[in-house]
Structure 1
Amino acid sequence: MKGDATTLAEAIRSGRLTAGEAMAASLAAAASHADLGALCHIDVELAEREASAADAEHRAAPDWFAARPFCGVPTLAKDLGGPFAGLPVIAGSRLFSRDRPDAPDSDLARRFRAAGLLPFGLTTAPEFGLALASEPAIGPLARNPIDPARTPGGSSGGAAAAVAAGIVAIAHATDAGGSIRVPAACCGLVGLKPSRGVMPAGPAFGNHLGGIASELCVSRSVRDSATLLAAVSGKTRGPFADVALAEPRTGVLKVGILCETGPELPTTPERSAAIEAAGQFLEARGHSLVPVAWSDVEAMAKASAALFYDLVCTNLATLSETPGIDIALAEPVTQAFAARGGALSAADLWRSQTAGVLVSRNLWRLLDRVDVLLTPMLASPPPPIGAFSFDHADADLHLRRMVSLAPLATLANISGFPALTLPFGADSEGLPLPVQMFAPLGADLQLLALAASLEADGRWQHRFPVAGLPS
């Protein structure tokens, strides 16, 4: 491992590095890696002001850094999701302008800052997050640092590219249909989609996707994701009850392993082998493996993808009716999604939502048989740039392309259950071999504990060091 956010924070806390020096290194790395298209907006004045203020706080009260796990660590927000003050989000679309009035911090943004993180820019996302690649027509086009001819994934692709390249060690990300986990899988990072109800989502930022979206980060280590989760989760404001995080169980766990694939889940041999290897690794450490057939999850996967599709389409149809919004300025496939949403009947949406409720029930029943479910994250390597073009009006085709790359991604979003991906080795081309794990609602820490065990085996090494980290 070539460093993570925790290591960088320790260097700043100990005085080997100042927040200003760390920020200067991130700005320099952003410039040197500009060809990756990871960042769509940088505010140098904000960066210098945030770092200077952090260093001044440290000088005045050294305990200020001690109470913040990521003291003085530069980070980036995503150009989609709850706002960070000073960083104007436009969701990768020409429908909005970065000149519009600044929005205040969301609850989550305030918690990022309270953890010591210093946001200074926005990462590239596809228009309204509608792809598992990050190539908005307004630019820039995000590339994978491991192989720039391939996508870093989406919709948090810019975030993943920035973290994998070491521009920053950790970055804000969102996940409504795999958008944390797919980019993490493409770039060899850790991506946790938290349980529904664990993360704050307000008060100014409403959830426009029926509860399927979560926000957290992409990171270079399990411990970074675990630390940030602990710092920003819980005590959400609003009319909904918190979902408490359960302590991880010790002793033998029943690990369900998806052992049968079919035409709907055409994982490459290397990716199937990675799932088997991860299962064998956990079995060798005392856990028991329980075979799970594709037929056990097939209906859930299809219903999840269908409801995701309907919710996204109706959301965009609603947006298109907003005064001052000209949907004709959107990219063609975005317009097609909005048109489909406008034509969707209430009865059809109701049937889709009812099927989504059954997804939660049926996954709950499956996870009553096993403690954790181990599955593929991606069916193939990260696809080449251009694989998720927006220059057509076939919304059905666009959805099929997303499902074919990540067949089980939307299952976590529709069910509300937590899911985590991390790399467990590299393929013959040096690309990461990601695995995915699901757990019951509130069992996020169980996933992190198992992921830490897999990570410790050291089968994946980051290609790029973190900017500013002392050697």
Structure 2
Amino acid sequence: MKDDATALAEAIRTGRLTAGEAMAASLAAAAARSDLGALCHVDADLGRREAAAADAERRTDPDRFAARPFCGVPTLAKDLGGPFAGLPVVAGSRLFSRQRPDAPDSDLASRFRAAGLLPFGITTAPEFGLALASEPAIGPLARNPLDPSRTPGGSSGGSAAAVAAGIVAIAHATDAGGSIRVPAACCGLVGLKPGRGVMPAGPAFGNHLGGIASELCVSRSVRDCASLLSAASGNTRGPFADVVLAEPKAAPLDIGVLCETGPDHPTAPERSAAIEAAGHFLEARGHRLVPLAWSDVAAMAAASARLFYDLVSTNLALLSETPGIDFSLTEPLTQAFAARGRALTAAALWRSQTAGVLVSRDLWRLFDRIDVLLAPMLATPPPPIGSFPSGHDDTDLHLDRMISLAPLATLANISGFPALTMPFGADAGGLPLPVQMFAPLGVDRRLLSLAATLERDDRWQHRFPIAGLPS
């Protein structure tokens, strides 16, 4: 039996435990593992009410209950995105208060609930998602359960830490510059950044970060990720075209293999070796490999990082000018990003946005030659706690630190294309060796199909059991 949310749902569906028992186990695990700092807000009463309602539905309408893919499974919402009713989001910032009136469910949150997921808390994220670590000044400081001296990544680091530690089996996550994929890679999980237009963004549509962000989850298995994608995607009713997901293309696929990242931010040898191993594993199953060099993606990677930098800066500049906001309450790095955004000219921003459009064009051209791009996710192991400090104002240095860890992360966000990471083995220190795959728009399921193939090699084992899952 797989150690994942689907298995937990099946145990609840078949009566091996109740939703109330699963929730009690998650609440107990959250308290027992508070040292990880994965959760920044817990509402135990909300969780118990959600679970009681699920158990009542199982008694009164068993068919409807059983049809939910994650019936009765506890989950957590990230402190960015959503929102989930009953769980006030503050984006890791002193700017807001947990006591402020919370918002109703977003379209995405309502679909999580319809799939049977029961949210009871919020996971730690850096202030406004600005780092690839999750150490907001307001606390708590999120640690990697595989090695507590290291970060679980960011900005969905709290979600990844909670899932890897077994507090919950699956958790909400968002990705505007690698924020689903980096934490998943740090913690040995599966993380898919869906393609633009695949996931709902309503009902409060706007132009937050120019459309580069996507929401879904971090999970312990490919099947969990695929199941939640099916349950939550489509009919986005938003500012982007509603993308209809195609079924996976049968083998053989042409898989472009990129084992390096670049001279300024080189990939550690054993991490490059994991990419090669994954490529050969797929080749042995009928796929064709197409060797690629850093020069094939270098310009796209640089333009993506620049536009990400500019969009984050201007977004925070806008927030800083919101009436009634005391922006001095934010961290020094946040204030520096906002100052940079206010100083950015319209022409400079337009130049970056134009380059971003060309990134999408050039990546499409690369996909004229290949069906999937296989590349590094992290250039190094998860860095130590404190590697992304926010008590300074050097935004260039901060961006360089993020690129050094995840050189290709922003490529998927700026292009809008789907990208997935998953572990494919462990390094000498027992930390996951992640791989990353990109695909064209509309073929997210192609990535999931290939990931399921790689997962069957069983090179990575989860360290901690899921709270409540019967053995």
> What is the TM-score when the length of structure 2 is the normalising length?
0.99
Contact 1:175 1:215 in 2 (8 A): yes
State the secondary structure of the residue aligned to 1:119.
strand
Measure, in 2, the Cα distance between the counterparts of 1:259 and 1:422. 16
Residues 118-169 of structure 1: CA deviation (Å, up to 9, x unaligned):
0000000000000000000000000000000000000000000000000000
Decide whether aligned partners of structure 1 residues 155 and 313 sit closer, same or farther in structure 2, where only a CA change above 3 A counts: same
Contact 1:82 1:205 in 2 (8 A): no
Deviation at 1:223, TM superposition (A): 0.2
Which range moves more in the overlay, 204-213 or 396-405?
204-213
Measure, in 2, the Cα distance between the counterparts of 1:262 and 1:153. 21
Alignment-derived partner of residue 405 in structure 2: 405
State the secondary structure of the residue aligned to 1:243.
coil
Contact 2:260 2:376 in 1 (8 A): no
Contact 1:184 1:218 in 2 (8 A): yes
Query: Are 2:153 and 1:153 aligned?
Result: yes
Amino acid of the structure 1 residue aligned with 2:433: L
Alignment-derived partner of residue 244 in structure 1: 244
Deviation at 1:251, TM superposition (A): 2.0
Measure, in 1, the Cα distance between the counterparts of 2:200 and 2:262. 38
Decide whether aligned partners of structure 1 residues 244 and 70 sit closer, same or farther in structure 2, where only a CA change above 3 A counts: same
Contact 2:124 2:159 in 1 (8 A): yes
Decide whether aligned partners of structure 1 residues 207 and 173 sit closer, same or farther in structure 2, where only a CA change above 3 A counts: farther
Residues 163-206 of structure 1: CA deviation (Å, up to 9, x unaligned):
00000000000000000000000000000000100000011253
Contact 1:126 1:135 in 2 (8 A): yes
Measure, in 2, the Cα distance between the counterparts of 1:216 and 1:286. 30
Deviation at 1:101, TM superposition (A): 1.2
Runs of 4+ in 1 over 6 A off after TM superposition: none
Deviation at 1:328, TM superposition (A): 1.0
Query: Are 2:373 and 1:359 aligned?
Result: no
Alignment-derived partner of residue 40 in structure 1: 40
State the secondary structure of the residue aligned to 1:195.
coil
State the secondary structure of the residue aligned to 1:197.
coil
Contact 2:259 2:376 in 1 (8 A): no
Measure, in 1, the Cα distance between the counterparts of 2:442 and 2:389. 36
Deviation at 1:421, TM superposition (A): 0.1
Amino acid of the structure 1 residue aligned with 2:459: R
Query: Are 2:138 and 1:138 aligned?
Result: yes
Residues 420-465 of structure 1: CA deviation (Å, up to 9, x unaligned):
0000000000000000000000110000000000011000000000
Amino acid of the structure 2 residue aligned with 1:445: R
Alignment-derived partner of residue 315 in structure 1: 315
State the secondary structure of the residue aligned to 1:216.
strand
State the secondary structure of the residue aligned to 2:368.
helix
Contact 1:78 1:122 in 2 (8 A): yes
Matches within 5 A, 1:279-428: 279-428=279-428
Deviation at 1:61, TM superposition (A): 1.2
State the secondary structure of the residue aligned to 1:436.
strand
Matches within 5 A, 1:7-406: 7-204=7-204, 206-238=206-238, 240-406=240-406
State the secondary structure of the residue aligned to 2:434.
strand
Deviation at 1:64, TM superposition (A): 2.1
Deviation at 1:207, TM superposition (A): 4.3
Deviation at 1:236, TM superposition (A): 1.2
Amino acid of the structure 1 residue aligned with 2:292: V
State the secondary structure of the residue aligned to 1:177.
coil
State the secondary structure of the residue aligned to 1:172.
strand
Decide whether aligned partners of structure 1 residues 371 and 312 sit closer, same or farther in structure 2, where only a CA change above 3 A counts: same
Measure, in 1, the Cα distance between the counterparts of 2:111 and 2:424. 31
Measure, in 1, the Cα distance between the counterparts of 2:397 and 2:333. 10
Measure, in 2, the Cα distance between the counterparts of 1:223 and 1:54. 23
Measure, in 2, the Cα distance between the counterparts of 1:405 and 1:340. 23
Deviation at 1:56, TM superposition (A): 0.6
Measure, in 2, the Cα distance between the counterparts of 1:124 and 1:160. 10
Residues 289-322 of structure 1: CA deviation (Å, up to 9, x unaligned):
0011100100000000000000000000000000
Decide whether aligned partners of structure 1 residues 239 and 38 sit closer, same or farther in structure 2, where only a CA change above 3 A counts: closer
Measure, in 2, the Cα distance between the counterparts of 1:262 and 1:363. 18
Measure, in 2, the Cα distance between the counterparts of 1:238 and 1:163. 30
Measure, in 1, the Cα distance between the counterparts of 2:191 and 2:264. 24
Contact 1:160 1:183 in 2 (8 A): yes
> What is the TM-score when the length of structure 1 is the normalising length?
0.99
Residues 88-108 of structure 1: CA deviation (Å, up to 9, x unaligned):
000000000111112000000
Contact 1:25 1:467 in 2 (8 A): yes
Measure, in 2, the Cα distance between the counterparts of 1:13 and 1:438. 35
Query: Are 2:465 and 1:469 aligned?
Result: no
Contact 1:316 1:338 in 2 (8 A): yes
Contact 2:205 2:238 in 1 (8 A): no
Which range moves more in the overlay, 5-14 or 324-333?
324-333
Amino acid of the structure 1 residue aligned with 2:101: P
Contact 2:261 2:379 in 1 (8 A): no
**Which consecutive residues of structure 1, in runs of 5 or more, have no partner in the other structure?**
none
Deviation at 1:13, TM superposition (A): 0.1
Contact 2:58 2:66 in 1 (8 A): no
Measure, in 2, the Cα distance between the counterparts of 1:97 and 1:251. 52
Measure, in 2, the Cα distance between the counterparts of 1:415 and 1:112. 26
Amino acid of the structure 2 residue aligned with 1:324: G
Contact 2:132 2:154 in 1 (8 A): yes
Decide whether aligned partners of structure 1 residues 396 and 2 sit closer, same or farther in structure 2, where only a CA change above 3 A counts: same
